[in-house]
Amino acid sequence: MSNFQPVSGEIAVSVQHLGLTYTTTIDKRPTLKARLRTMGRGTKHTRVVRALDDVNLDVPYGSVLGIVGANGAGKSTMMRVMSGILPPSQGRVEVYGKVSTLLALGVGFNPSLSGRENVLLGGLAAGMTRKEIADHFEEIADFAELGDAIEAPMRTYSSGMFSRLGFSVAVTVRPDILIIDEALSTGDAHFKEKSLNKIKELRGDARALIMVSHGLGTIREVCNEVAWLHKGKLIQRGEPNAVVDAYEKFLHVGKSAAINEDI
């Protein structure tokens, strides 16, 4: 889809009756030994999690959709379904464009490799070609402001450097649809400012953005629409201030400084 050009108002992502259940382990580190030791005693090693339940959502181009919800509401799971990482159990997700994900620090899975190598590997895994990555590399390094550290092993990076690099990769590759999962929260004020400007720029560029954040101030500031998820269900969606107000009321926190602080 190289000639694909997003048009404001057209559907970017369509989520229809999405449901997701998965089985996960209770043991922190599942082992054969633990299995054998408890064999025949009826000990449970897995539990079934119903992460999403009949969620319907459309995201048009040129808009920023914020997703709010308490921990464990299924926000990140929904992002993963939209980016094809988790296949749904029920329903259907249609994606009209190239998705770039920034789900809580995507890049840097191999800490002993340098930032450069990690960017290359992450990009190749996401289906980009070597040339595409090489073309964008300077821009990525510049935006992340890492300097020479880009050649150092990622185990030497601070958490801020990690997320700066992750954010740069996601926004620089010019995705049609950008998914951001609480990735901005570890940057300093200067980088936050810069990322917010970048997000606004992408919005003006008729891209679609989906943002998961606990920073309600940011959500109010940049989003055109907000969806509130709770325990896998879509509770409310609509105009940002209305939804965020309802969510804040639900949390019984009101407008305190603590929740406006972070993005």
In the complex, the residues that contact another protein under the rule CB under 8 A are 1, 4-7, 10-11, 14, 22-25, 29-33, 35, 49, 80-99, 101, 103-106, 108-110, 112-113, 117, 120-122, 124-127, 129-130
Rounded alpha-carbon distances, angstroms, from residue 56 to 80, 91, 98, 253: 15, 9, 21, 28
Distance (Å, rounded) from C-alpha 77 to C-alpha 100? 16
Rounded alpha-carbon distances, angstroms, from residue 49 to 10, 46, 72, 73: 34, 10, 10, 12
- Pick between residue 66 and residue 108 the one whose CB is nearest to another protein: 108
Q: Which amino acid is at 127?
A: G
Report in angstroms how near the CB of residue 121 gets to another protein at its nearest.
6
- Pick between residue 93 and residue 141 the one whose CB is nearest to another protein: 93
- Pick between residue 32 and residue 189 the one whose CB is nearest to another protein: 32
DSSP category for residue 7: -
Are 224 and 65 spatial neighbours (Cβ–Cβ below 8 Å)? yes
Q: Is the dihedral of CA 170, 174, 175, 180 positive or negative?
A: positive
Distance (Å, rounded) from C-alpha 150 to C-alpha 114? 7
- Pick between residue 32 and residue 257 the one whose CB is nearest to another protein: 32
Report in angstroms how near the CB of residue 209 gets to another protein at its nearest.
17
Report in angstroms how near the CB of residue 155 gets to another protein at its nearest.
11
Distance (Å, rounded) from C-alpha 98 to C-alpha 176? 5
- Pick between residue 29 and residue 190 the one whose CB is nearest to another protein: 29
Report in angstroms how near the CB of residue 94 gets to another protein at its nearest.
4
Report in angstroms how near the CB of residue 1 gets to another protein at its nearest.
6
